[in-house]
Structure 1
């Protein structure tokens, strides 16, 4: 069976047991490690991969072939994408009017949240949007090649190292506006597969990770893009939570609220996502 997820610490922590034969009854897995922008594209272009981690923002374009698995993904509080600028002191959203902004993917949840936020906070809208691998965004902001960058993953722990300033936290905005957790990364599986078994295997992999936190440490750090052990652990602590084990009613409410709002803004096709996702 094939699976694709990012090399980020939260994903390797969650899927360590599943891809290392530590989940009883689960098959062997052929793993593809790829940035979220790549997995979003893989899911949209074909159905060759069995299980993928994608952005919740990419779900509307793949629901005909893939079903949402209610565990294993990233959804939580205090873990939203950040808008960064290379400007000391106070920065205001107005400074983004007509400016050049880098984002990690056009179909990322981060960009969807940014578009919803900018519609309320940036007069006249931003200027040029440039898609860039997330690990290249902070250096580009620092060097002045772009005016601002939308960052995800471990960047929220390391942006100060680049001398950058946080202009806005998309997660804080979303939570204050809706009272709901932030939907970031979704796990999907081909509809033709045994979805009940896949859900069971992933839940057991999450539980194994929590029960044996040391077991995955070498695997996590092998793929952690030269992060320190401390930053990798902070990443795991922030993004792997109760919603990773089970989305639950609150998780599904957050996802459908995000997609329905995006549908109203014309960002995604307008549909009844509450019925499509369950």
Structure 2
């Protein structure tokens, strides 16, 4: 079975057991490691692999062909995208982004969707140019003055100070304060033509194996961790792999529904049948 997910520690931790043949009855995986912008595009193309990790924000474009699985993804609290700048005076000042050049990790990323919803309420006059960059290139670009601000995800939450950057706004804090709901980030989807219940079971078993044997995936995680320190990798996993990874549950589905309903009302994503989320 072909699957695509990122080389980030949360994904490699979650899928280690399945990718290494440790889940009884699960098919062998042919893994493609790809940035979220690439997997979002693969899913929308109609020619993607059977299973993918994509942004929740990209779901409206793919739900006719792919189903959302209730496990394996990234959704939580205190783990939202950050807006960073090299201008220390801009800390906590959304107006500093008016007319500025901002880098984002994908046009269809949940991070960018949250940013657009937040900016509509908080940035008078709107931001200027939006540039799409692989997420690991954003902080160096902000540091070097190539862009005015960057929207970052993943382990950047733990490392941005190393680049001399300042937190301008936390999209997760805004979302949680505005809705009281967890933050939907990355979704696991599978082609509707497949046995979805079985795939969800294998994914959940892989999550549970990872928790039961946390050291088993260490080498696999670190060999894909893009020179990340083991300590940062552990923090990354601790933040993004949680009970919502095992099962979205009612709160998880509510968070996804509210996010995408708001986005559709604002014209940021296509209208779609909400029943397709379950």
Q: TM-score range by the shorter chain?
A: over 0.9
TM-score, structure 1 length as denominator?
A: 0.98
Q: Which runs of 5+ in 2 are unaligned?
A: none
Q: How does 1:142-153 map to 2 (within 5 A)?
A: 142-153=143-154
Q: How does 1:211-226 map to 2 (within 5 A)?
A: 211-226=212-227
User: Alpha-carbon deviations, 1:86-138, whole Å to 9, x = none?
Assistant: 01245210011111000000000000000000000000100000001100000
Matched, 1:254 2:255: yes
Partner in structure 1 of residue 140 of structure 2: 139
TM superposition shift of 1:271: 3.2
Cα distance between partner residues in 1 of 2:183 and 2:235: 18
Partner in structure 1 of residue 271 of structure 2: 270
Paired residues of 1:260 and 1:271 also in contact (CA < 8 A):
no
TM-score, structure 2 length as denominator?
A: 0.98
Cα distance between partner residues in 2 of 1:98 and 1:89: 17
Cα distance between partner residues in 1 of 2:273 and 2:43: 21
TM superposition shift of 1:46: 2.2
Cα distance between partner residues in 2 of 1:126 and 1:247: 33
TM superposition shift of 1:276: 1.7
Partner in structure 2 of residue 182 of structure 1: 183
Paired residues of 1:75 and 1:185 also in contact (CA < 8 A):
yes
Q: Which runs of 5+ in 1 are unaligned?
A: none
Paired residues of 1:5 and 1:53 also in contact (CA < 8 A):
yes
Q: Stretches of 4+ moved more than 6 A in 1? A: none
Partner in structure 1 of residue 42 of structure 2: 42
Cα distance between partner residues in 1 of 2:17 and 2:226: 20
Cα distance between partner residues in 2 of 1:70 and 1:108: 19
Residue 146 to residue 90, structure 1, CA distance change in 2 (3 Å)? closer
Q: How does 1:25-64 map to 2 (within 5 A)?
A: 25-64=25-64
Paired residues of 2:90 and 2:96 also in contact (CA < 8 A):
no
User: Alpha-carbon deviations, 1:227-247, whole Å to 9, x = none?
Assistant: 000000000000000000000
Q: How many residues align?
A: 277
Alignment RMSD, CA only? 0.8
TM superposition shift of 1:48: 4.0
SS of 2:72's equivalent in the other structure is strand
